[in-house]
A and B are shown apart, each in its own frame.
Chain A
Amino acid sequence: MKNIIVWYATLVLTSLKSATSRRLAFLFSVLMMVANNLLFFVTWWIIYQKTPSIGGWEFRDVQMLIGITTLSYGLSVLLFFGAGKLSDEILDGGLDTYLMAPRNTMLSVSSSKCNITGLGDIITGLILLGIGVNSPTEAVLCIFFSMTGAFIQFASTVLFHSIAFWLSGLREVSDLASSTLLLLSSYPGSLFTGMVRVAIFTIIPAGFITTLPVQVIRTLDPVGAAVIIGATVGYLALASWVFSRGLLRYESGSRIDLGGQR
């Protein structure tokens, strides 16, 4: 396990080094992403000027929600950005280069690319959570649930893109599912009832990224926390299983390049 973590950290650091080689462009991207997230937050501030609560969700809850969403999304794209390109790799025969390496293929693909704008998301998340939390316990829980959220986003992305192993013409559907996950994570859970509520706790697990964590932080409910941890482990296991089943169907693109940053 320790070896895998060291290996993965080395891969991500290499990707990060490459992505930050142009200092000014890097700083500009990060600052723009912070501005982008804060502008979204201001829109919610405007809505809350008209109402104290949206279905029981107060402004502080939405602040926590956006903080957790941006922090978990930032971590996800910084550490696992390659997962979002998985369907391209599958359909273009790009997995060949990763299969040659004596390492976990899913992790190798996921760490092969790094989106530096994720740092802007992380900074925004920390700012919003920094001014939104009331106690050290809340702060620790927010950070912890941002990390579980990042893992759920990663697992979901792998699941959505693994569709390409079975159905080749649905590349856009994978992207749509990933966008939908982010969209549903960015709005108060009280907006979703009935079948949509079922969907956010199953096929598009946005409920485990923000809705349930905000409720757990609000009520300090240990059962809710255990459910989130269980869901995180469950989605990661499912993603790993589906990916390995999909690899059995993978047809080589006969690539002979040596991989690396592509």
Chain B
Amino acid sequence: MRLSLYSTLFLLGFRTELRLFVATMIRSTFLLLLLFIFSRLWALILPDGLSMPQLLWYFLITELIMISTPRVYLRMERDISDGTFAVLIQKPINYATTRIAESLGVLLGRLPSFVTLGATGTLFFTSEVPAGLRSPFALIIAFLLIYLAASVLTISYAIIGLCSAFLRDTRTLSMVWDKGVWLLGGLMVPIILYPPWLQQIAPWTPFYYLLFGVAQIALNGVTVVCIHTAIALCLWGAFGMVLVGLLQRKIASDIIGEGG
């Protein structure tokens, strides 16, 4: 019964997102602007061993994950501050899972349009698809991995959202988290171009799998690394859900203990 409830919320988020045409267009414009900047950057400093199409498609994949992931922490922060959370935890549903399910539906609603517009823009700037992404199989794997990574990022945003019960304002925490993803996930620069000491640190964090693990498909094509990335993402996602559960329980007990 509960599973059907969460899947209904998932579908609701999906359908709502499909109707938000203006918001999608605006985010896509921003994505195209970023692609333009990076096409200029890589044209000026193309590193040895990598081609311009590889780097731009790599950047498209990392940016798609970042830009399409719904900022669920904003909604959760609002729920906690206006008392909605206190009301919803008394219902026979799991509050955090509800919000995550909605966000995953939103993600599925917006991802195909971002992928289409982003890929068109990237083709405009490079006029070439890297060898590793040319088969339909590789494109499907890339789409699935992008969705999986964005789902795990959504779970991490849910953790940030729950932290608002202690911090009140999670804007800066979310910014630092995003910059962590940028840096240790290799958003702007593939991690293989990092200094060796940073290359060794990155795989010990979830950021590495969230971006680089997925986007390396533009550099090397579909390899066994994709399976490794998918498993790592599932494990980090499961760990994230455990944290979500613990945090939610702690906040709920504080609210009940302190009288709401």
- A binding-site residues for B, Cβ under 8 Å: 22, 25, 28-29, 32-33, 35-36, 39-40, 42-43, 46-47, 49-51, 54-55, 117, 120, 169, 172-173, 176, 179-180, 183-184, 187, 190-193, 196
Contact = CB atoms under 8 A, between A and B. Distances in A.
B224 interface: no
Contacts of B173: 28, 32
Contacts of A173: 26
B45 A50 contact: yes
Contact of B44 (A35, A42, A54, A179): A54
A258 B243 CA distance: 44
Contact of B30 (A117, A169, A180): A180
B183 A54 contact: no
- List the 9 shortest-distance A-B pairs measured between CB atoms, nearest first: A32-B172, A39-B179, A191-B40, A36-B175, A51-B45, A29-B172, A32-B176, A172-B26, A36-B176
B193 A50 contact: yes
A180 B179 contact: no
B198 interface: yes
A29 B169 contact: yes
Contacts of A32: 172-173, 175-176
Contact of A47 (B171, B180, B188): B188
B257 interface: no
Contact of B47 (A50, A180, A184, A192): A50
B182 interface: yes
B215 to A, nearest CB: 15
Contact of A117 (B34, B36, B171): B171
B26 A22 contact: no
B179 A54 contact: no
A191 B41 contact: yes
Interface in B171-193: 171-173, 175-176, 178-180, 182-183, 187-189, 193
B169 A55 contact: no
Contacts of B180: 39
B60 to A, nearest CB: 17
B14 to A, nearest CB: 21
Nearest to B178: A36
A241 to B, nearest CB: 27
A29 B171 contact: yes
Interface secondary structure of B, over-half rule: helix
Given A190-B44, A191-B37, A43 B30 contact: no
B168 interface: yes
Interface string B198-234: 1000000000000000000000000000000000000
A173 B33 CA distance: 14
Contacts of B188: 43, 47
A42 B186 CA distance: 12
Nearest to B168: A25
Interface string B144-187: 00000000000000000000000111011101101110110001
B88 interface: no
Contacts of B189: 43, 46-47
B29 interface: yes
A176 B29 CA distance: 9
A25 B33 contact: no
A172 B176 contact: no
A28 B172 contact: yes
A33 B41 contact: no
B172 A49 contact: no
8 contacts: A28-B173, A29-B172, A33-B175, A43-B189, A46-B195, A50-B47, A117-B171, A120-B172
B172 A36 contact: yes
A130 B127 CA distance: 43
Interface string B71-92: 0000000000000000000000
Contacts of B40: 191-193
Contacts of A117: 171-172
A40 B182 contact: yes
Nearest to A22: B168
Given A32-B175, A46-B194, A176 B44 contact: no
B167 A25 contact: yes
B48 to A, nearest CB: 9
A57 B33 CA distance: 21
A169 B20 CA distance: 13
Given A35-B176, A46-B195, A179-B30, A25 B169 contact: yes
Contacts of B195: 46, 49
Contacts of B26: 172-173, 176
